[in-house]
Structure 1
Amino acid sequence: MARLKRTSQTLEKAERRAASISSIDPNLDLGNGLTQPAFSTLIEKMRTRENVYNTALSNLDKFYREMLETERELADMAEHMLMAVATRYGKSSVEYGMAGGVPKNQRRKGLRGESPTPNSQQPSLIANGNGSKNSNQNGNKAVVPQ
């Protein structure tokens, strides 16, 4: 997704104001450095900076897409490298483990009916009388995790 480019409402407002002031006098000088040419110069500077910023965002999007593509290529090649080591030395070999794979003989197998982990919490019944917030419509106690 491309980054949103910036538009400046202040710049748009200043451009409209500069056009209006130019109709009074193209070289209007109000003192203290407030001149039409200085105002126009600052407007142009802002327009240039905004364009440079938006161009930088476009370049950043391009670099990001290129980086993601290279990352995909790298992941693909890393997988191929591991598979090539497995093909040459076998999946149970020391070399396969050295390359980052888990040797076949060291893999854990999940057992059926395995007990839950000790950190998991089991729901418990809270014994409150009928009509409490913890009972359902049938008068049975609701299961509330602790």
Structure 2
Amino acid sequence: MAYQRKSSKHIVDAQERSANLAAISSGLDLGGGLTLTTFRSQITATQALLDAYNAQLASADAAGNDFKAAEKELRTLSARMLAGVGVIYGKDSNEYEMAGGTRASEIDYHPAPESPAV
């Protein structure tokens, strides 16, 4: 399952406000460090952090997919190894049990009871 990428309503709102403030004056300076340039720099920095965060999520998704594929391949190979031991030594052999299989003679078969004919 892929990680949910984030977006920011605050960034969108700030970008809109920046455009509106630029309509007042492209060099708007409200004093105390409140300038349009500072505001736009903060918007850009916040957007960059969001982009980096989403890129890391994408990277984590890719790593997760790679792991799942390798795990599936390993599971298949493990089953094939056990089957190979069964073919070479037999499914009732000590070697088959040593490889992690259940010897055929140790499996308790209980057939399902037959249903009465109607």
> Is the pair's TM-score, using the shorter chain for normalization, greater than 0.5?
yes
Within 2, Cα distance between the matches of 1:62 and 1:109? 44
Q: Which has the greater radius of gyration?
A: 1
Worse-superposed segment, 11-20 or 57-66: 57-66
Worse-superposed segment, 10-19 or 48-57: 48-57
- Which residue number in structure 2 is paired with residue 57 of structure 1? 57
TM-score (norm 1): 0.70
TM-score (norm 2): 0.85
Q: CA RMSD in A?
A: 1.6
- SS of aligned partner of 1:55: helix
Q: By how many angstroms is 1:61 displaced?
A: 1.7
- Which residue number in structure 2 is paired with residue 19 of structure 1? 19
Within 1, Cα distance between the matches of 2:65 and 2:112? 44
Q: By how many angstroms is 1:26 displaced?
A: 2.5
- SS of aligned partner of 2:82: helix
Q: Spell out, residue by residue over 1:57-104, the C-alpha distance to the aligned partner (whole angstroms, 9 max, x if none).
A: 222221122111111101110001101111121111111111110011
Compare the two structures and name the one with the higher helix fraction: 2
Select the structure with the greater relative contact order (CA < 8 A; seq sep ≥ 6): 2
Aligned runs of 1:1-146 on 2, under 5 Å? 1-112=1-112
